[in-house]
């Protein structure tokens, strides 16, 4: 396996279910991200992990809970979602390197995403 892999590719869940999305990167990168992509809207950053530590949480509702057990794996735990949470959830990784103002992100590698439908 190479790059960033996400499972499952598709998920349909009821509003009372609990499910988890999984992401694994095989690139040796030091940062991992969760993004939400909805139709005709820009990618929305949800969570950032640098060296396994969460560094960003962009006002995401608590029904989304991330977990980063090591630098290669990232999970997004879902519970009591709403229909408006239906979207493509993308995992990404990057190899941040030291630049003039601190750590610089030289580009994301994205997985193919999980298409989530909440019914």
Partner 1 sequence: QKEVEQDPGPLSVPEGAIVSLNCTYSNSAFQYFMWYRQYSRKGPELLMYTYSSGNKEDGRFTAQVDKSSKYISLFIRDSQPSDSATYLCAMADNYGQNFVFGPGTRLSVLP
CB of 99 to partner 1, least distance (A): 6
Read off the tokens for 27. Answer: 């690139």
> Which parts of this chain interact with partner 1 (CB under 8 A)?
4, 40-43, 45, 48, 56, 90, 92, 96, 99-113
Q: Which is nearer to partner 1, 71 or 105 (CB)?
A: 105
Q: What is the rounded distance in angstroms from the CA atom of residue 1 to the CA atom of residue 57?
A: 29
Q: Which is nearer to partner 1, 16 or 28 (CB)?
A: 28
CB of 97 to partner 1, least distance (A): 10
Q: What percent of the chain is helix, strand and coil (3-state, nearest 5)? A: 5, 60, 35
Q: What is the rounded distance in angstroms from the CA atom of residue 83 to the CA atom of residue 78?
A: 13
Q: Which is nearer to partner 1, 15 or 104 (CB)?
A: 104
CB of 6 to partner 1, least distance (A): 8
Q: What is the rounded distance in angstroms from the CA atom of residue 80 to the CA atom of residue 58?
A: 19
Q: What is the rounded distance in angstroms from the CA atom of residue 76 to the CA atom of residue 91?
A: 9
CB of 114 to partner 1, least distance (A): 10
Strand (E) or helix (H) holding 55: strand 53-57
Q: Which is nearer to partner 1, 48 or 78 (CB)?
A: 48
């Amino acid at each position: 396996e190479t790059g960033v892999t996400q499972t499952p590719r598709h998920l349909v869940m009821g509003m009372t279910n609990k499910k988890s999305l999984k992401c694994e990167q095989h690139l040796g990168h030091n940062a991992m991200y969760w993004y939400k992509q909805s139709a005709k809207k820009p990618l929305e950053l949800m969570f950032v992990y640098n060296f396994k530590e969460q560094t960003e949480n962009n006002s995401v509702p608590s029904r989304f809970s991330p977990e980063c057990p090591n630098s290669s794996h990232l999970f997004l735990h879902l519970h009591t979602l709403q229909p408006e949470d239906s979207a493509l959830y993308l995992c990404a990784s990057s190899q941040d390197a030291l630049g003039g103002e601190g750590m610089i992100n030289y580009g994301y590698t994205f997985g193919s995403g999980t298409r989530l439908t909440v019914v």
